[in-house]
Structure 1
Amino acid sequence: MSLSNSDQQVLNRIFNPEMPYEQSEAAAGQPLSDTELEIADMTEEERDRLSESKKLEVEAIHAIERGDLSGGLDSLNRCVSLTPHRASCYNNRAQALQLRGDRRGALDDLESALRLSRGSGRVACQALTQRGVIHRAEGRDDEARQDFEAAARLGGPFAKQMLVEMNPYAALCNQMLREVIGQLSRPSDSAEDCSS
């Protein structure tokens, strides 16, 4: 009995749950990415909406980079309307909302991004990092640390850096190290006395 491509992918995910989807499918001879699997199951209309949503997302990012925050937000709002199931749309809109100073709206979108991404993958890592930054800016260091730890487990380099900065022992060690290096780089008075 031969398994269908879909059956093989399901079994591969069951037997290799810790392996990223792209690797597990490639190992089983199925070089389909998770996104390709989703697209394969979509209707033509859904694929068209997804394609348009991705274009809007890119337009939005370029608009924001040019300083057109309102235009970028308009594109991201349309992106979310077209594909409300895409975590990336919410994550990017959260960044734009933060730039506008709307932390509450950004937090709402980050919650949506995390829910839709099921807390895993690149978008979840970015959303956790963004939420950690907001928590830290608002003085909620415990919540920020939790988000940075989760993002670091997902491979986020910025989250790892933030954890080091938030570690009081690391901060103390860094301060002591700077003092020692500063003392070593300046000739001391006692060293001058010995040389005379």
Structure 2
Amino acid sequence: MAQHAACSGISELPAKETCIETSPIYRHKKLTENDSTVLEQIFDPESAPVAGIQIDASLPENRFIHDSAELQRLRSQEVRAIQMIEGLASSSRGGQPRENAIDAATSVMSKLIAAHPTYASAYNNRAQMRRLQHGDHVLVNPPTGTRKSEGLRDIAEAILHDLNTAINLATPPSPTESISKSQALILAQAHTQRGALLHATAKALAHSHLDPSEALATPHLFPGWGAERFEEASSRDFFLGGRYGNGIGRAMAVHTNPYAKLCGSIVQEAIKKEFRDQA
């Protein structure tokens, strides 16, 4: 959630090193600097221009709100809202008390957003609270007879709107522009959250016998999308989440793109062997 507390609906994955160390073959004397860069991006599925993200600790925490006292007040309200849920999660209580706590915390975030519509962190947190309440399969209609789908479309739209808004507010105007630590954290979490929703949707569609236009709660937002398209989009969001610093996003980017990773490893080994043979 916010940078002050972890109230994540995404289960932590085992720690796993996912970065491929830059191989000497990319800097071989026969290759130009441009050739080396191209090869590195092709053979390393995690490599992309966004890898050059520059985090500047001297930048203001928020691009739109520069009053430090006001930011501190907003963060304090966020922390209190998050603690409403965390306190319940650490107890044995559930059911209605849990729903009430999430509703109350979500209401706090909604008030923050109404008063400060450019405060990206509140959108990110509100989306996560709704995910905790409704689950990651919120973009897909439930099987007939399992639970009511009434209002599901509105909930799905609300979560996506919040994540999209958080990302838009925190993303710098230029991809080469430096960002603050706070911005990077919001982007890491929002992209990973959205990736989780899209990934859950991809899995649900892959096991559904229905056409996506019937299975999706929000087909108007994803016209023509099937399981593969959702999987690709989730992999991209996980990738971006990882690049901005989210460990889960980094691990899931590899998990959702195993063939590219395998292909990259095979090709790297083949080129290494070729250069060794020529040496």
Same fold (TM over 0.5): yes
More helix as a share of residues: 1
Change (3 A) 1:168 1:33: closer
Taking the aligned partners of 1:164 and 1:121, their CA distance within structure 2 comes to 20
For residue 162 of structure 2, what is the aligned residue in structure 1? 109
**Which 4+ runs in 1 deviate beyond 6 A?**
36-39
Superposition map of 1:89-108 within 5 A: 89-101=122-134, 102-108=155-161
8 Å contact kept, 1:94–1:109: yes
Amino acid at match of 2:56: Y
CA distances 1:7-44 after superposition (whole Å, capped 9, x unpaired): xxxxxxxxxx964221xxxxxxxxx44228976x54xx
Amino acid at match of 1:53: L
Point out where structure 2 has 5 or more consecutive residues left out of the alignment.
1-51, 89-97, 135-154, 173-182, 203-229, 263-279
Aligned with 2:61: secondary structure? helix
Taking the aligned partners of 2:62 and 2:132, their CA distance within structure 1 comes to 32
* CA RMSD in angstroms, aligned pairs only: 2.8
Amino acid at match of 2:161: D
8 Å contact kept, 2:121–2:186: yes
2:60 to 34, 44, 48: 34
More relative contact order, 1 or 2 (CA 8 Å, 6+ apart) = 2
Aligned with 2:233: secondary structure? helix
Taking the aligned partners of 1:142 and 1:19, their CA distance within structure 2 comes to 26
Aligned with 1:138: secondary structure? helix
Change (3 A) 1:148 1:19: closer
2:120 to 63, 84, 87: 87
Aligned with 1:85: secondary structure? coil
Aligned with 1:35: secondary structure? coil
Q: Does 1:124 align with 2:177?
A: no
Q: Does 1:167 align with 2:202?
A: no
For residue 244 of structure 2, what is the aligned residue in structure 1? 154
Amino acid at match of 2:119: R
8 Å contact kept, 2:64–2:118: no
8 Å contact kept, 1:69–1:100: yes
Taking the aligned partners of 2:84 and 2:244, their CA distance within structure 1 comes to 29
Point out where structure 1 has 5 or more consecutive residues left out of the alignment.
1-16, 23-31, 173-196
Taking the aligned partners of 1:163 and 1:19, their CA distance within structure 2 comes to 21
Taking the aligned partners of 1:34 and 1:133, their CA distance within structure 2 comes to 29
Taking the aligned partners of 1:133 and 1:100, their CA distance within structure 2 comes to 15
TM-score computed with the length of structure 2 as normaliser: 0.45
For residue 21 of structure 1, what is the aligned residue in structure 2? 56
Taking the aligned partners of 1:21 and 1:86, their CA distance within structure 2 comes to 19
8 Å contact kept, 2:185–2:244: yes
TM-score computed with the length of structure 1 as normaliser: 0.63
Q: What is the Cα deviation at residue 171 of structure 1? A: 9.9
Q: What is the Cα deviation at residue 48 of structure 1? A: 5.4
Change (3 A) 1:118 1:151: same
Q: What is the Cα deviation at residue 53 of structure 1? A: 2.1
Taking the aligned partners of 1:169 and 1:18, their CA distance within structure 2 comes to 26
